[in-house]
Structure 1
């Protein structure tokens, strides 16, 4: 079971040219998301901002699908 209710990878950080993997703990529309990882498509690398994201199955599914397809993914 994931600690995140929703994970999206649909924002490119123009400053460092990496896609943000953002997570939300609840389905509350007022909740502010948290960047839990960043993906660099050029070299297929992932930097984790949240230690739990490294072993979270839902997070890994989103990241792997994004890397496989190379396009913006929203789940």
Structure 2
């Protein structure tokens, strides 16, 4: 999925006339991202449940789903 998005962004940048290089995702960068989003996700869900805050609960859930998707992408590399 990451390779597909990189190719799409490169095509869009060429069509728009923008000269921009997109950094390549490596396993180490993805692992760091996974740890960060997992921490934010667990914290958001925990605070959302404790404070009965729906926005925090939703953001924590989205962040947790993002860490799961990142884990799948790491396994594909």
Q: TM-score range by the shorter chain?
A: 0.3 to 0.5
More helix by share: 2
TM-score by length of 2: 0.32
TM-score by length of 1: 0.32
